[in-house]
Amino acid sequence: MITDGTTSHPLFTPDHEALREAVRRWVTDELAPHVDVWEQEGFPDAVFRRAGELGFLGLHWPEQWGGAGGDLAASIVFVEEVARAGTAALAMALSVQTDMATPALAVFGTDEQRDRYLRPAIAGDQIAAIAITEPDAGSDVAGIRMRAVRDADDWILDGTKLYITNALRADWMTVVARTDPGAGHRGISLFLVDTHLPGISMSKLDKLGMRSSDTAEVVFDGVRVPSDRLIGETPGEGFSQLMHQLQYERLVAGAACVGHADWVLDQTVAFANIRETFGKAISNHQVIAHKLADAATELAAARSFLYSTVWRVQQGEYPVAEISMAKKFCAQVQNRLIDDCLQVHGGAGFMEEYPVARAFRDARLQRIGGGTDEIMNEVIAKRLGIVT
């Protein structure tokens, strides 16, 4: 690790640092040795089961449901360390389980729903996905078209979801659907949907990066879902439930960016110290040394801003603008840093033989998923009182 920011920030307690060491051992011993194979074949479902066995999938969920009863910082530590595995796809897939598909269930669900869905997700016995994006609606959540129509004791779901991570391996999904077509964002609801139900079909998508994880198009054709799978007391609460969880999802995404970028920088410094040109290691050329120094400086700034924002959340604040800033800035820093690191590798960086090539492909999604740079700027601008 280039800087010592993770061991000196007041956000973290000795328990957090012990967790960091445990996750890093798991990553080093059980994940990193296999990432090259998984890039071609996809990583196995056993990764979720093992994470559950180790207690990593419910770090900030209540002990009542099998969680560790920890805080948001624990989840930040977990995702940041998994992102150092050599492929960003693992951090993405696991954080879908821990911080995207489950938060609305954990906070707004019934005890019966938590027992049926949250408990096995925390244990790693079931895999979860979240189905928000559609062919014509992504960042514009209020534009969701998927319909859920009440029919006696069931809801009938019709529509298509796109770019759904974990879909092909998921046992269930948190699905965003429109229950009132004339109510705008107030007509959106969340449902817990078992993936084995009749009427659900999936198609695997071919991606630029994050290739060891699965992503799919999911079609719902007259899928009958029991009424007790609605999250919340009444229909129409889905938008506010999503906005609550998206803030935490964005902080976790920032952690994945920081962890991944830090690992790439480590790899690049090691490369620069052994690669020679003009009779000396390229790290001894001032232009290379300064490029890496600038990258490390910007990464330290991104990490510090992320941690300070998480700290504010843990003090009971809800700093929406800063959360959006942190997500956007961490993703942009990650992309700039990896681009510079690839440049330092020269022609080698364009070869799949070197991990920076995979990192370059993987990183690009972070400026899109969880809220694009542009959407983050819209959120920030509104908080500044700017009308756009």
Domain boundaries, the chain: 5-123, 128-236, 240-383
- Please determine whether the domains at 5-123 and 128-236 fall in the same fold group of CATH: no
217 assigned to active site = no
pLDDT per position as a tens digit, 201-255: 999 999 999 999 999 999 999 999 999 999 999 999 999 999 888 888 999 999 9
Q: What is the pLDDT of residue 8?
A: 63
Nearest CA to 196 out of 173, 227, 216, 165 is that of 173
Is pLDDT larger for residue 8 or for residue 94?
Answer: 94
Assigned superfamily of 128-236 = Butyryl-CoA Dehydrogenase, subunit A, domain 2 (2.40.110.10)
Mean pLDDT value across the chain: 95
**Hey, how many other C-beta atoms are within 10 angstroms of the C-beta on 120?**
18
pLDDT of 138 over the 80 cut? no
What's the topology of domain 5-123? Butyryl-Coa Dehydrogenase, subunit A; domain 1 (1.10.540)
Distance CA 386, CA 388 (A): 6
* Architecture of the structural domain at 240-383: Up-down Bundle (1.20)
pLDDT of 343 over the 70 cut? yes
Average pLDDT value for residue range 301-318: 96
Model confidence at 141, pLDDT cuts 50, 70, 90, reads confident
Catalytic residue among 39, 80, 134, 249: 249
Q: What is the pLDDT of residue 5?
A: 44
CB burial of 160-199 (b: ≥16 within 10 Å; e: otherwise) equals: bbbbbbbbbbbbbbbbbbbbeeeeebebbbbbbbbbeeee
Average pLDDT value for residue range 315-331: 96
Average pLDDT value for residue range 119-130: 98
Q: What is the pLDDT of residue 388?
A: 65
Q: What is the pLDDT of residue 342?
A: 98
